[in-house]
Amino acid sequence: MSLFSPSSGNLQAIPVAALAGMIAEAVATGLPQKLRVKGEVSNFSNRRHWYFTLKDADAQLRAIMWESRARGVNFQMKDGLSVIVTGRVEFWPQGGSVQFYADAIEQAGIGDLETELRHRMLFYREKGYFAPESKKKLPSVPRKIAVVTSRSAAALQDVINTAGKRWKGCQLVLVDVRVQGGGAGGEIARALAALSAQGAGLGIDAVLLTRGGGSIEDLWAFNEAEVVEAVHACSLPVVAAIGHETDTTLAELAADLRCATPTQAAMTLIPDEMTLRQQYEPLGDRLRLGAQRLLREGKQRLAGFARHPMFRDPRGALEPARRRLDGFARHPFFTQSKRITHDRRLALDALRKRLDALSPKSVLNRGFSYTVSANGVLLRNESQAIYGMELRTHLMNGVVVSTVGAKPLDGQGVPVPVRLGQKHSKKRAPKIRLLESGGLFG
């Protein structure tokens, strides 16, 4: 087909289908019929036929593998795998795209992102971020739920629709953040930190972190360390539903509950109104019946009280007690109580005077004293005083402490040797000196 007009020499306009045919022919004739391409799997989708993207650091290529060929692959195909694909390149005119049609796929290893994801998963698992005991309990009937996602995400509409069908009494609060691309992880982490600090004061009972499916690159923000840390540290319960059922992010593992889809997450958090009615209506009936029974029993007791003589004729009911009280007032014990009390007080005073007369204190008050040894033995005569003995003399206003320190004298006035503790006869009675007081005793 000539592209030039014979009359003017200018380029001739051709139909799109013609150009597409030329591209298809160029691809078919300019490339080998069979190629082996190494790359990382991304955006994998199994819809009977396999649709995925082959990529490396600099480029990406759409690929397809028919169901008949896919059945021959002996490993589980998923995002992040490094594979070697054998096939051919064709131009698809209806879609306007160049596609790689895979005939065979070999597993070459794990892609860089998948390797990094596994390392981070092991790190946070060892820190206990995924442990069941670290999970918080979800509220049974939440009043307000914060939905952390993009305003334009299809997942948000799924949550809104599900909440409207289940229970309109639950209020949803949107926290609009980016869910993919550069800076998305920081926005998500800051939103979770703000909810953790202020959510309880705003009446928020739980957080729903969600977005739709995508490749491992699209979901990578939910694998960032700052997001995982924010989810784990959040003071509110966090339910996460990110990507498809086969996708797993670290934020979901750190959340208090992971759900496969946004709809399932909303159904888990928001109770069904009909189910609530079925659960609580019997309780209401039991409370109503119980209140009626208590009211009926109270009326019966009140009627019994009203029939009691005390309430029908209070004065008549008190009359027997008044008669008994009058009888007590006429009893001799009450009529003679003053005289009996006076007589007994006089007897008590007489006994007190007799005791005072016999008391050692009264003797001391008359100017007498008495002496005891250190061990409390009362000295009745001088022979009990032994050389070196400590004595205590009790006077009216105190005690004098003394020690037996003088030696006995013979008839010529010469001191007689005495052993410590020796008793003396009346003929050789020692002169006893009060050492502490400085005076003489005896």
Q: Mark residue 388 as left, alpha or beta (left: phi above 0; alpha: psi -120 to 50; beta: remaining).
A: left
Report the percentage of the chain scoring pLDDT > 70.
88
How would residue 436 be classed by pLDDT, with cut points 50, 70 and 90? very low
Q: Which residues of 389-419 are buried (b: 16+ CB within 10 A; e: fewer)?
A: bebebbeeeeebebebeeebeeeeeeeeebe
pLDDT at residue 185 is higher than 90: yes
**Arithmetic mean of pLDDT, 239-246:** 84
> Residue 229 has which token pair?
């840390």
Interval 133-172: pLDDT, tens = 999 999 989 999 999 999 999 899 999 999 999 988 899 9
Tokens for 301? 């007791």
Q: H/E element holding 97?
A: strand 97-110
Token pair 């593998």 is at which residue?
65
Mean pLDDT of 358-385: 81
Q: What is the DSSP letter of 110?
A: E
**Which residue type sits at 288?**
R
Looking at domain 116-274, its CATH architecture is 3-Layer(aba) Sandwich (3.40)
What's residue 421's pLDDT?
46
User: Quick check: 34 pLDDT over 70?
Assistant: yes
* Angle between helix 262-269 and helix 154-166 axes, rounded to 10 deg: 30
Task: Decide which of 125 and 433 is more confident.
Answer: 125
Q: Is the pLDDT score of 92 beyond 60?
A: yes
Average pLDDT of the residues of the chain: 84
Per domain, the residue ranges of the chain are 16-109, 116-274, 304-357, 359-442
Say which CATH topology domain 16-109 has. OB fold (Dihydrolipoamide Acetyltransferase, E2P) (2.40.50)
Q: Is the pTM of this model over 0.75?
A: no
Predicted confidence (pLDDT) at residue 438 exceeds the cutoff of 70: no
pLDDT for 310 equals 72
In the predicted model, is pLDDT for residue 198 greater than 60? yes
Name the residue with tokens 């189910």: 275
The enclosing H or E element of 190 equals: helix 184-198
pLDDT of residue 182: 87
pLDDT tens sequence across 296-350: 899 888 888 878 777 777 777 777 888 888 777 777 766 677 777 888 888 998 8
Identify the pLDDT of residue 267.
94
pLDDT band at 418 (very low <50, low <70, confident <90, very high): very low
Q: Is the dihedral of CA 289, 292, 297, 300 positive or negative?
A: negative
131 versus 217: the higher-pLDDT residue is 131
